[in-house]
Structure formats: structure tokens, C-alpha cells
Chain A
Amino acid sequence: MNTNSKNGSAQDVAATLVKQFRTNIQTYAIIVAMIFIWILFSLVTNGLYLSPQNISNLIRQITVTAFLSVGMVLIIVTGNIDLSVGKVAGFVSVIVAQLQANIWYRLFPEQDLLAAILSVIAGLAAGTLIGAFQGYIVSYLAVPSFIVTLGAQWAFNGGILLVTQGKTIPANQPYFSWIGQGYLNPTGGWIAAAVVIALLFYAMFNSRQKKLRYGFELGPLYLDVLKTVMYSVMIVIYVAVVNSFNGVQIPVLLLAISAAVMAYVSNNTRFGRYAYAIGGNREAARLSGVNIKKNVFTIFVVMGLLCGVSGVVLASYIGYGTVAAGGGYELDAIASCILGGTSTLGGEGTVFGAMIGSLIMASITNGLQILNVPASWQYVVKGAVLVLAVYMDVYFKKNR
């Protein structure tokens, strides 16, 4: 079917593009929505909204909860839910702050770099252990995840109070702060961009080569090139914009890496495939030899690890551990997934979609903040947008 469009006219090209657009309508619709929101806010704020400084802020704002969304996608895809992620991330952040403030300097005086590294390791380990514990109860003891993670939410809220004793703990040593507040210098940013773009092109040509070797028909080359060029342009624009302010933020870089890894895992490994099969039809997956318990357990472990990452970035970014750390983040993370097309029934959802979902939520909050809309109304708008977005999805699915 590609033979006539391979070297075809502009009409064929347009037709192919339209077809591509139709098949991915959900993904594109949400990107279009985001661009619409950006244009709208940039008009009402006289361009302030799209200034390098604000773009830079906006993207950094999403990182802490976006780490949670990255893991939440697979949790929801398997038909589970995790209500504890906000408080677990908060718990990790206060532990890390406590270690930074009161432990390491006694054990390793004057060794700030070592202390920062140990903090990161401790934070990730704590998150992973908590994830494993919850995953064990959910999958092997068969307690519904809603209950287990609701219980854990309360328990870790208590844990935060225990660790902090109700006080705020500083965590602002330079090495540690770099994780949440640091920047790549402009050259570093461009190098990173160049590496990513080179990888994108390599991956594209490599995949075409492999398909040829298997004797499969190839899609039109211009389409693949166009797609890759589009992604590259987006990366270049992003780096150019943030470089004109402070540079690429370290937490954004970490988020991009986490999201890329999880997107890969969900599509290209057995683990990811099994997750979608479990959510799509649990019985069929079980009879197909999928070890459901192990898979769900592992997903909770991964979620725990990402809570760890989120907690470390949180402590580093705000510079201290507080009693309120992580409150309500779980709902932001879940909302981002749903906005990004993850089905509450399980079986469907992508990491990429969840990232766009996060960005939309943050774009709205940020825009309202610039306009000095009171916090009360920010919540009202956020809630309305979530419900409206899902309604539109339902509407379009029904009338397709």
C-alpha cells in the first residue's frame, strides 16, 4: 500500500500525513490542546508566559510529580492504583534531609560529595523498599491496591511527622542542591541535545535497516525523517530557550531519562508487554503464562524507586524537608496519566501521554499564577479541566 505513495506527489504526502494523524488522533489532540493553552496564556499575559524564564520554571515545576506519573502509568495500566506515592516521596525527602542535616556530617565530616551520593542512594533504596513492601501485599497477599496504598498514605504521613518531629530540616549543601536546582552550562546543553538528536536519527535508520533485513515493507522515508526532524527541532527550541535563561535544568534531564527508559520498557520488554496484557484481560494473560503476581510486584517496586527519585529531587529542589512534603502529589500524578490518555479500566496508556498530561496541568497552574488568580480558583479550574478533558475523550471515542 506504500508503493504508490513512496515517490508520490504532494497529494499523496498530504494523504499519508492525514492518515497518520487520524490513527494517532488522541496523542495529537492533547498536544494541540497544550499548544492552545500556551497561546491563550501568552496572549493574556502579553507574552510573559512564553518568556525563557517562565518556560524554564514551568518545565521544572512538573518534575517532582512527573517522576510519579512515569511510574503511575504502568500501575494504572495493570488495573491498580497507588494513592501513597505523594506521601512516600515526601517521606523519602524528609529522610534524605535528615541524613543531610544531622547524620552524614558526623560520620563523614567535610565530605560533601560523598554525603550527597550517599543521600541519593539512601533515598532511592528507601523508596524501592517501600514499593516492594506494598507490592508484596498487593500481589502476593491479594489485598486491593486501593486499600493498601491508602493505608500507606496515612502511615507515611505519620512517618514524616516522626522523622521531622514537626520541624523543618534544611538540606542545602551545594552538591546535594545541584540535583534539584543545578543547570547544565549552555555548551553542555547543546552537547546533550546533539547526542539525543544523533541517537534519534541512528535509531530511525537502524530500525529501517532491520526491517529491510527481515524483508518487511517500509513506510515512506520522508515520513520517518519528518518525524525525527520534528522531534529534533523541538529539542533544539527547548535548549535554545532555556539556554537564554540559565540552561538545561538537571531535574528535567533526570526526568527525560526516566521517562525515556520507562517508555522503552513499556513497549519493548516482556515486563512492559505483560503489564498491558494483564490490564487488558487478566484471565487471558494468566492462561498465556504471564506471572501476574511477579509482574504487579515488580511494577510496584519500580514505582517505589521512582518515588525515591521524586523524593530526592523534592528535598534538593526546595532545600529542606517539611511536614507537608508530597501532600496531594498522588492526585496530580494520577490526573496527569488520565489526561494523557491512560484508561482507568486498565490496558491502555503511554508514558509519553502522561508527560504531556503533566505539562498541561502545570501549564494551567503556572498561567493562572502569572495572572494572580487566587489559589482557590486555581483548584476549581484544575478540577474542571480534568473532568472536561476526560469528557472530551469519551465524546470523541463514542462519535468516531
Chain B
Amino acid sequence: MNDDSAVDNSITPEEDIILDFRHVTKKFPGVTALSDVSFQIRRGEIHGLCGENGAGKSTLMKILSGVYPWGTYEGQVFCEGQELKLENRSIRQAIETGIAIVYQELTLVPGMTVGENVFLGKEPLEAGAINWDKLYADTQQLLTKYKLDIHPQAIVKNLGVGKMQMTEIAKALSENARILILDEPTSALAEAEIEKLMEILRTLKEHGVTCIYITHKLNEFFAITDSITVLRDGHVITTQPTPSLTVEKLVSYMVGREMTERFPESHRQPGEVILEVEDLHAADPEESAREVLKGVNLTLRKGEVLGIAGLMGSGRTELAMTIFGEYGKITQGTVKLDGRVIDVKSSREAMMQGLSLVPEDRKRHGLVLIQSILRNISLPNLDQFASWFRIDDNAELKASRTFAQSLAIKAPNLEVQCNTLSGGNQQKVVISKWLMSSPKVLILDDPTRGIDVGAKYEIYKLINDLTAQGIAIIMISSDLEEVLGMSDRVMVMHAGRSAGTLDIAEATQERIMTLATGIA
């Protein structure tokens, strides 16, 4: 296990710097991703790394993990006084140096136990066979040491996201990681789990583990970090102790201008009711006896934003998918569009009725990542350009460009593959593809998840533009401030039911949480 005392007597006694970036510059053809980046991280601190998408955070992390090996960048990185010289993609070498990354997407084997995952690739052996007793005992010891509340023999796929993440952290620590990089660790976590993660990080700090913490949720920086480095366009803007910063200051460092409002001003005038959902019940498609929606009611007006709040598992996403015709059977209740009962059985039928859905998980459900922006935007809309034997590729390009430009997708051209785009730009591509079908009702399922402040603001502005055109919007979100900042009314879901609908004037975080947790 990690021997902390040995670590403490290291080379730089006067100032205890564990990681030191000196004039790091990384250039790609046509872009400078990092430009003369210099900052230091002290041993045992939690260091926040903050910046919009494309600011250079991921590039920096890729240098630390050997994706961009030593020699492909200018400048130097010192880890405990030694220059870091990683070979190409040598994650192993990074781990041996003591650097481990907990990725946004978890990298566990779902069918294996916690212990098997933690010791994957380094199982303790006895006479050539795996010594299971030792493996589980060591796992238990590790979990106890860092106060990780999981059972070593639990199967990973049966754990919640929060506990999966703990397993991931345990795995990193089992490698004697002294520097732990957490990239967007809370993007999939519920409030209670986030609190738990914060506790774990504090325990790690007590044990002398240094953390680099990356997130788009600014309040987390203030809850947990000791100091923050802000990156913008590949430059270090500042490194400061957290107490000397405020949210406003941080945002202005990130975007390079004073951001007075997180949400753009809007003057919405909702019109007549366009969508009505009455007492909707729907079953799990995998298990038709289990009802996931147990009575949802909502009304939506033209030019209105209806926010939907609720905890994970409350049925928010299932509601969106059911209305869109891509979830289980509707067992009871009706969906009315323009006063007519509609019964959509597939996304295609939903589109023809004038419904669009921007799904929650843009990489899994929203985009064909290996295809170009153009192909992605036009995919659901090919009927507009095609006869049975031919797609008019010029018309396709023209229409796609119009949307790409009006949504300000940042890319040299539309032939760029989607997997090279930043999260915010990917989301804009998904929104473009769903706007091209000129919907009457647009359902946005967590539209700003994992994207930066600047891109969020642009999406909010877009939502306002769309409502001004009379489009009715349902916006599902885990971010309560966003729900409160953008909605005209808020429908709160709890356990598959609509727990209540609040007018924006009467809605507060407390009232929403009371409804969402089922206390009311």
C-alpha cells in the first residue's frame, strides 16, 4: 500500500511542489492548444482546473497521461522534481509515476466484482493462480483506509454510478497514485452522491493524495478545492487560492469578460396549449410488468419553456422517450398535440407529428460520432432533400450550413468528424439536427450537461430565440439553477409521477427539492 511517510521526505523541502508545469506549449496543425502554460500544484492539495471547453484542460491531462508523449510538446513538466518523460500512450508509465486519472466515462468491467476490478491486471498470485482471499482482503483494507463504503465482492453493474466511481478511485489508489485527476466526476451523480464524493476527497487529502479536480459546476470548486488555475484559450489566466475568488470572478476569468447574467434575459409570451399529457402510464420495455411512469400530467404552451426537475430515476428521461415513441408501451393515459390525441410508436412518427427530442446522452443517443457534422445534422431530415433514388447533396449542405452557422458550431467545415468536437459543439450539432425538422415541440433532455459556461449561455440564448418563434420547449435538467433560470413553469417528478407544477414566480430550489424527494 501507499507509504505516505516516504513520500513526505522528498526532494523539494523548502516549497513542497508535486507537479510543476514550465512553459508547456502544445501545437496542433492550425491550433495552439496550450501556450506557454506554467503553474504549480502543491503536495496534498485539491487543485481545481477551470476553463471552458477548448481552453486546454483535456490537452493538459493528456500530457499527464502520456496520450501526448514527452517530446511532442514544448516545455517541461516536473513531477516531484523529476522531469516527466512519458512514452507514447503509456498509461502504465504514468501510473508508475504515481499519476492516475478517473475519467468522465467510467472504465470498469461491469460483470466483475469490485475487488476484481481494483486488482485487474495485477491480481495477487499464489503458485500461478489468483489468490482470491488476499485479493479481497487487500481490497477491503484499501476501502477501509480511504473510507470507501462498498463491498469488495459486489458486482460492479449492480452498483449505482456513485459507487462505481468509488471503485474507480479505489483502483487508482491501489496503484499507489499520489496524484489523482478527476475529470468531471460529478456529471452523472445525484446531490447526495456528490456530497459523499466530497467527503472521500477530503479523506484522500488527509492521506496526502494530491487531486486535480476538473468540473463545469463552479460551486464545486468552492466546496472542495484549495486553489484554482483558470485556463482560457490555452493560456493560464491565473492560479489563486480558492478563498480569494468568487463565482463572478471565476466566470469572468474563464470567459474573459464580465458575465453579469448566467441566463440571458427573455420576454416570453406563451400562447395557446399545444401539448397535453394526461395521466400517462408506461411500462419498462425490458420488463413489461413494471410501470416506470405511473401517472404524469403536463400541459405545454406555444413559446413556453416547461422545466422538468426530478432526481435520477424519477422517470424524467423515460417520460421524454415515451412521448417520442421510443420507450415502453403506454398502458394508460393520453398524449394530445394541438387538441388531438396522438399515438406515436417510433421516433419517425413523432417527427412527422412535429416532435423533436435532444436526448440526454449525446454520445450514445445523439450522434454518429465517426461521421461528419454534415451527415449527423442531415440524418433525420434526409426526406427533405431526397427522392427515392437520390439525395440532393447540395441542398443538404446548404440547409445544414444554415443551421451550423445560426448555432455557431465551431469547426473549419462540416466535413469534420463529430468525435473531434468539444462537448458544447457536439450538443449544438445534436440540436441542429433536431431543429431542421421544424418541430412544434422540442424536448431537451439535460441539454447543457458537461458543457462549459460560454456554450451553456449560447444554448440558453438559442432556447429564447426558439420560443420567440413559437416553438414550445420541454427542458429536463438536473441543474436546479438552470431550471429556475430558464423555465416559465416547472413540473417536478417523483417516482414516475408528476409531483406538482410550480409557476416560476413561486418556484424555489427548496420547494422543488421538497416535491422531488416526495416529502410534500
**Segment of A84-92, A135-143, A285-293, A389-397 engaged in the interface with chain B:** A285-293
C-alpha gap A168/B385 in the complex (Å)? 52
Q: Interface of chain B, helix or strand or loop or mixed?
A: helix
When the two chains form their complex, are residues B369 and A289 in contact, meaning their CB atoms are under 8 A apart?
Answer: no
Interface: A327 (CB within 8 A) = no
Give the contacting residue for B368; candidates A213, A269, A284, A289; CB below 8 A.
Answer: A284
When the two chains form their complex, are residues B394 and A216 in contact, meaning their CB atoms are under 8 A apart?
Answer: yes
Shortest distance from the beta carbon of B501 to any chain A beta carbon, whole Å: 27
Q: Interface of chain A, helix or strand or loop or mixed?
A: helix
C-alpha gap A59/B311 in the complex (Å)? 64
Give 1 or 0 for each of B387-425: 1 = CB within 8 Å of chain A CB: 011110111011000000000000000000000000000
When the two chains form their complex, are residues B386 and A285 in contact, meaning their CB atoms are under 8 A apart?
Answer: no
Interface: A220 (CB within 8 A) = no
When the two chains form their complex, are residues B389 and A269 in contact, meaning their CB atoms are under 8 A apart?
Answer: yes
C-alpha gap A289/B383 in the complex (Å)? 11
Interface: A319 (CB within 8 A) = no
Interface: A347 (CB within 8 A) = yes
C-alpha gap A211/B401 in the complex (Å)? 14
Give the contacting residue for A284; candidates B351, B364, B386; CB below 8 A.
Answer: B364
When the two chains form their complex, are residues A289 and B391 in contact, meaning their CB atoms are under 8 A apart?
Answer: no
C-alpha gap A183/B92 in the complex (Å)? 62
When the two chains form their complex, are residues A287 and B357 in contact, meaning their CB atoms are under 8 A apart?
Answer: yes
C-alpha gap A213/B390 in the complex (Å)? 18
Interface: A332 (CB within 8 A) = no
When the two chains form their complex, are residues B394 and A211 in contact, meaning their CB atoms are under 8 A apart?
Answer: yes
**Segment of A156-164, A184-192, A273-281 engaged in the interface with chain B:** A273-281
**Segment of B19-27, B289-297, B374-382 engaged in the interface with chain A:** B374-382
When the two chains form their complex, are residues B347 and A286 in contact, meaning their CB atoms are under 8 A apart?
Answer: yes
When the two chains form their complex, are residues B347 and A287 in contact, meaning their CB atoms are under 8 A apart?
Answer: yes
When the two chains form their complex, are residues B370 and A280 in contact, meaning their CB atoms are under 8 A apart?
Answer: yes
Shortest distance from the beta carbon of B281 to any chain A beta carbon, whole Å: 22
Give 1 or 0 for each of A276-314: 1 = CB within 8 Å of chain B CB: 110011011111111100000000000000000000000
Query: Interface size on B (CB < 8 Å)?
Result: 33
Shortest distance from the beta carbon of A6 to any chain B beta carbon, whole Å: 17
Q: Which residues of B contact A291 (CB under 8 A)?
A: 346, 348
When the two chains form their complex, are residues B368 and A348 in contact, meaning their CB atoms are under 8 A apart?
Answer: no
Q: Which residue of B lies closest to A288 (CB)?
A: B380
Shortest distance from the beta carbon of B396 to any chain A beta carbon, whole Å: 10
Q: Which residues of A contact B365 (CB under 8 A)?
A: 283-284, 287
Q: Which residues of A contact B395 (CB under 8 A)?
A: 214
Known pairs A270-B386, A286-B326, A286-B347; A277 contacts B379 (CB<8 A): yes
- Chain A CB count within 10 A is highest, among B348, B350, B359, B368, for B368
When the two chains form their complex, are residues B383 and A284 in contact, meaning their CB atoms are under 8 A apart?
Answer: no
When the two chains form their complex, are residues B347 and A288 in contact, meaning their CB atoms are under 8 A apart?
Answer: yes
Give 1 or 0 for each of B326-353: 1 = CB within 8 Å of chain A CB: 1000000000000000000011101100
C-alpha gap A288/B433 in the complex (Å)? 9
25 A/B residue pairs, CB under 8 Å, sorted by A: A214-B394, A214-B395, A268-B390, A270-B386, A273-B379, A277-B368, A277-B371, A280-B369, A280-B370, A280-B371, A281-B367, A281-B369, A283-B364, A284-B367, A284-B368, A285-B368, A287-B324, A287-B347, A287-B365, A289-B348, A289-B351, A290-B379, A290-B380, A347-B370, A347-B371
Q: Which residues of A contact B (CB under 8 A)?
A: 210-211, 213-214, 216, 268-270, 273, 276-277, 280-281, 283-291, 347-348
